[in-house]
Amino acid sequence: MKTLLIATLLGSALAFPVYAAQAAAPAEASAEVAAPLSQGEVRKIDLAGQKITLRHGPIDSVGMPPMTMVFGVRDAALLEGIKTGDKVRFQVEQQGSRYVVTELQAAE
């Protein structure tokens, strides 16, 4: 009886971390998708280099404070219709040591 109790407790203890990780994964994924767009102003556009300079407020998705910074752009098509001085809303992802704009739209 003692052996059965020990085996049951050990099995439960080993299974719990796996269950907890599976239960937490969907919540983490939805939090990433639901990250709000940050606000900024276009200071410079480099079409050939696929870069944009933005003066922006805080970027919560990557924990960045307000500043002016050059970002890479995932796709040059994001820069179409955007010009210096435009107010924009955007999303940034950290890729290694680089920050890349993955979504960009003119603010309304």
- Kindly list the averaged pLDDT for each block of 10 residues, start to end, along the chain of length 108: 65 60 53 76 96 96 95 95 96 95 92
CATH number at residue 76: 2.40.50.320
- Specify the pLDDT at position 35: 78
Q: How many Å separate Cα 41 from the centre of its chain?
A: 19
Kindly state whether residues 16 and 44 are assigned to the same domain: no
What is the number of domains present in the chain? 2
- Specify the pLDDT at position 49: 94
* Parent domain of 18: 1-34
Kindly state whether residues 43 and 66 are assigned to the same domain: yes
- Specify the pLDDT at position 63: 92
- Specify the pLDDT at position 34: 57
Kindly state whether residues 77 and 91 are assigned to the same domain: yes
- Specify the pLDDT at position 31: 46
Q: In terms of Cα–Cα distance, which of 74, 42, 75, 37 is closest to 59?
A: 37
Kindly state whether residues 26 and 43 are assigned to the same domain: no
- Specify the pLDDT at position 5: 60
